[in-house]
Structure 1
């Protein structure tokens, strides 16, 4: 386990210690049975994965008190999200975290530490989808700036491979210079990302990609 992965697991463990049973959960009775709503009010660790994944994705209008429910389940949702076992797209979870007002939660700093620790761990993980993780973090925090800064400061072979793969994706699908992140593509970051890429050392981008990047930015 790398140092970055250790930091992430320590952050997840600290967030786990905040998990508690909660008040009765009111929700859409067309989507959830009385037994499922009762389970959601119990110990978060005992909520079945299928139910957890459903709650992680459902829109806030399915619940009487969405922020409280999402806050209680966030330790498990974030653990599964950051370890690749959550059957829900990361940017959608980011939307839900924002809708639940996570920066105003009690012990929100523990959520922030998980997010901060996840990015270096993803950049060190050859199997991570760096583009999706970046979109998730940017939407959850409302900014792409610190995540790009960390990427620039991580010139490791694995981080550079992630960079190459992400650039290939953005250039292939013509997403630059109008790049928008998020599940609904509602966070415009194109100019900032294009400026960031242009400021990276040429060897981190590659001549072919730099050519296609300059062509994309010229159009």
Structure 2
């Protein structure tokens, strides 16, 4: 077992209990409404206006995924303890990626809630992140959880700093998997997910962090040499990147901004 796991799991469990205590008694706003045709029945809506009643998983999904609540904060506060537990247990699946889960937090402006409530949410996100980094088989892959946290908070910096500070073979394995997952989009100068805001800043920060931090760690971890070259190429731009002998030959749609160079000088490599 990873030596950090015994410390990380109790912290996560305590954070979940903290959410349950902090948000006990919360309900959706009495005047909250949603379309019966598209969201659910009047009975479903009534359950959100009763405190501390467990929701069935389908209702929980429909509630956090809906974007048209009038008082998004009160709806999230109502479901948050159960929602967080379901996330940690791997019961929340979304076809739109974990950015949609992060956005459900961001849309509710949780960082503007009363201090005790905001602190409970922040501790949950931090505790889950610390646990996932040390978990050999997290229910949500670390690269997906990073997306959730970045979208929930509007920043990558604290999450990358925690990862960087953790010298651990499990965290290094997650870094190798994440770099392999991200390199195609990043080499095309795109963020590997659809960000709500700050997309270009996040792309630049993630790219810079990988170039600066990942190679030594991943080399020691024994990753394939071609992955190390792809990370190195992230530090190059324009022809220096695409003319490098280790350019992987990725093919990008010519509608993508970075493909102007390929369309002009490497027409044979562009997807028609």
Structure-2-length-normalised TM-score:
0.72
Segments of 5+ residues of structure 2 without an aligned counterpart are 220-224, 242-272
Corresponding residue of 1:75: 81
Of 158, 163, 171, the residue aligned with 2:175 is: 163
Corresponding residue of 1:43: 51
Corresponding residue of 1:174: 185
Offset, 1:124: 1.0
Q: Distance in 1 between matches of 2:49 and 2:192?
A: 33
- Which stretch of the first structure deviates more once superposed, 38-47 or 160-169? 38-47
Offset, 1:68: 1.0
Q: Distance in 2 between matches of 1:55 and 1:80?
A: 13
Q: Say what the alpha-carbon RMSD is for the aligned residues.
A: 2.1
Structure 1 residues 99, 21: CA separation in 2 closer, same or farther (over 3 Å shift)? closer
Of 182, 188, 210, the residue aligned with 1:197 is: 210
Structure 1 residues 46, 214: CA separation in 2 closer, same or farther (over 3 Å shift)? same
Corresponding residue of 2:258: none
Q: Deviations over 1:121-180 (max 9, x none)?
A: 010112220110001111111110111111111121110000000111112x33346342
Paired residue secondary structure (1:2): helix
Offset, 1:66: 2.3
Contact 2:61/2:92 (CA < 8 Å) preserved in 1?
Answer: yes
Pairing 1:214–2:225 present: no
Structure of higher RCO (CA pairs closer than 8 Å, 6+ residues apart) = 1
Q: Deviations over 1:27-81 (max 9, x none)?
A: 222221111111111234421111011111111x2x2322211122122112211
Offset, 1:203: 3.5
- Which stretch of the first structure deviates more once superposed, 180-189 or 95-104? 180-189
- Which stretch of the first structure deviates more once superposed, 189-198 or 140-149? 189-198
Segments of 5+ residues of structure 1 without an aligned counterpart are none
Paired residue secondary structure (1:43): coil
Q: Distance in 2 between matches of 1:83 and 1:44?
A: 19
The structure with more radius of gyration: 2
Query: May I ask how many residue pairs the two structures share in their alignment?
Result: 216
Q: Distance in 2 between matches of 1:100 and 1:86?
A: 18
Structure 1 residues 182, 56: CA separation in 2 closer, same or farther (over 3 Å shift)? farther
Offset, 1:185: 6.6
